[in-house]
Amino acid sequence: MNKIIAVLFFSVFSLLSNAQEFTGEMLFKYAQEHSPKLQNSNLEVVVSEEKIKEIRSSGLPKINGELSFQNFINVPTTVVPANALNPNLASEELVGLSFGTPYNANYNLRVSQLIFSFNYIYAIKAARNYSELARLSNLQKKENLLEELKLKLGQIILIQKQQDLLKQNIKEVGALKTKTNSLIDAGVVEPTSINDIIIIELDLQNSIKLLESNEKIAFLSLKSEIGYPLDSNITLVKNFEKSSTAILDNANLNPANNLAVQMGNQNVILNDLGLKASKSEGYPSLSGFFNQQHTAMRNSFNFLDSSKDWFPATLWGINVTVPIYNSGEGRAKNKQKELALKKAKNELIDIENQIRSLYEMLKSNYNNALLNLSSQEIKVKLFDNVYSNEEKKLNYGASNSLTLSQRKMQLLKSKQELLQKQYELYKAEVHLSIHTNTLKL
């Protein structure tokens, strides 16, 4: 019984989930959890954080152990004058002496520690800024995806509204065809009058088929973008989403808050640190070490015999590395870094100028979209009145099907243009809202 209840509950929950209408924000929220692109982008941030740990650990103590064994098949021989051992022998006579033992083994423990290095300090700073750059890049990708998803949603809504408009017109054309046939039977209009209406009906049916094909492609593209199962249905909102009036009224551009500008700033900082790190290669560095070693030399392989001696050697020391001359290599590297820094600063100025120009363009597009929509709404009303009057004339035989068909196509075209103007306003709102309100997660 409990299993049956659980199955029913799951079925109802699934139906409710499938019936849920996704808005642009909901699509983005789903994409954050399922989109492969965003998952990889998040991993890049994690990788950058691990890079900081890697560079930081390079300046921490290092402990290494080593165990070695050597078997001299032929013990090395050193030649000395024979009279060094026996004064009675001639001075030019030489004697070979073997030094060492056939079996040697040693183990040692070495501890090293970087004490001071400018290069290490700049590397740590650069790694932190690289991590910040990765974070900003991740945020920019999410912002771009949010914008793209809202535009894809708007495109699907436009296609569906166009389909609804065409289906409504097919019904109206069907009613007009019935009325025309009645007028033909009554002898009010000629029999050929029906031909123009049939042609309109065929064109509308073909347009619907084309829109249905476009709708399938648009849905597949949207599902793929957010990581939604391609073989599952997804329900979207039916109308264009309106941005908050407060957001649009207070849409002000602050280049410092723009992600592209922030990334440009980070690029300048990284290049500056790169120049400092390159220059620091000519500065001294300081490191220390400690080494403990034990060595055994045997004539036979008996290293496991605890009664035999292992001879220790313990030492510690300080290393100071002072670069003296590198044949101009350092100067050439520094010059390259200086030029890279100058280039990054120029790119930042260019980005700021582009952002300001973009903002002015987005405001202009939004205002133009509002104006165009208002004008198109007036046109639709005018064409609707013209068509209604022409339809009344047809009833009294004062018009013909050709003229009425032309008026119908004018009205249909004006309504299609109205949908397009609504979509253009929606796009302008999306662009303006996204680019003047930095995404915060």
pLDDT tens digits for range 213-231: 999 999 999 999 999 999 9
Distance in angstroms (rounded) separating the CA atoms of residues 409 and 253: 43
Q: Is residue 178 one of the residues assigned to a domain?
A: yes
Query: Where does 72-132 show beta strands of DSSP type E?
Result: 77-81, 94-98, 103-116
CB 402 within 8 A of CB 192: no
pLDDT value at position 96? 80
Q: Mean per-residue pLDDT for 153-165?
A: 95
Residue 80, helix vs strand vs coil: strand
Give the closest residue to 101 by CA, choosing from 292, 294, 301, 310.
301
pLDDT value at position 245? 57
- Residue 378's pLDDT band, with cuts at 50, 70 and 90, is very high
Residue 205 structure tokens: 């049916």
Q: Is residue 380 one of the residues assigned to a domain?
A: yes
DSSP class of residue 236 equals E
Q: Mean per-residue pLDDT for 289-302?
A: 91
Distance in angstroms (rounded) separating the CA atoms of residues 215 and 158: 10
pLDDT in tens, 69-120: 999 888 888 888 888 777 887 878 888 888 888 999 999 999 999 998 888 8
pLDDT value at position 159? 96
Taking CA atoms, 227 is separated from 32, 36, 102, 146, 306, in Å, by 9, 7, 68, 14, 66
Distance in angstroms (rounded) separating the CA atoms of residues 373 and 190: 40
Give Cα 181 distance to the centre of its chain. 60
Per the structure, the count of domains in the chain is 1
pLDDT value at position 247? 55
Q: Is residue 194 one of the residues assigned to a domain?
A: yes
Distance in angstroms (rounded) separating the CA atoms of residues 410 and 408: 5
Percent of the chain, pLDDT > 90?
Answer: 50
pLDDT higher than threshold 80 for residue 288:
yes
pTM of the model: 0.79
- Residue 1's pLDDT band, with cuts at 50, 70 and 90, is very low
CB 156 within 8 A of CB 162: no
pLDDT value at position 315? 94
Q: Is residue 7 one of the residues assigned to a domain?
A: no
If you average pLDDT over every residue of the chain, what do you get? Answer: 86
pLDDT value at position 19? 57
pLDDT in tens, 386-435: 988 887 887 777 777 678 778 888 898 999 999 999 999 999 999 988 88
Residue 315 structure tokens: 């030492």
pLDDT value at position 200? 85
pLDDT value at position 243? 66
pLDDT higher than threshold 50 for residue 3:
no
pLDDT value at position 66? 94
Distance in angstroms (rounded) separating the CA atoms of residues 428 and 367: 9
pLDDT value at position 195? 85
Residue 113 structure tokens: 């520690």
Distance in angstroms (rounded) separating the CA atoms of residues 398 and 411: 20
pLDDT value at position 11? 46
Give the closest residue to 146 by CA, choosing from 231, 229, 41.
41
pLDDT higher than threshold 80 for residue 14:
no
Q: Is residue 291 one of the residues assigned to a domain?
A: no
Q: Is residue 340 one of the residues assigned to a domain?
A: yes
pLDDT higher than threshold 80 for residue 180:
no
* Beta-sheet pairing, 103-116 with 285-298: antiparallel
Q: Mean per-residue pLDDT for 319-326?
A: 87
- Residue 12's pLDDT band, with cuts at 50, 70 and 90, is very low
Residue 175 structure tokens: 């009613």
> Residue 410's domain is classified under what CATH number?
1.20.1600.10
pLDDT value at position 252? 67
Percent of the chain, pLDDT > 70?
Answer: 92
Q: Is residue 130 one of the residues assigned to a domain?
A: yes
pLDDT in tens, 183-213: 777 777 677 778 888 888 899 899 999 999 9
Q: Mean per-residue pLDDT for 147-162?
A: 95
Min mean pLDDT across 3-7, 42-46, 233-237, 245-249 is at 3-7
pLDDT value at position 9? 44
Q: Is residue 224 one of the residues assigned to a domain?
A: yes
Q: Mean per-residue pLDDT for 309-331?
A: 89
Domain of 152, in residue numbers: 21-59+117-284+322-436
pLDDT value at position 244? 58
pLDDT value at position 10? 42
pLDDT in tens, 236-262: 999 998 765 555 565 666 788 888 999
| Total residues belonging to the chain | 441
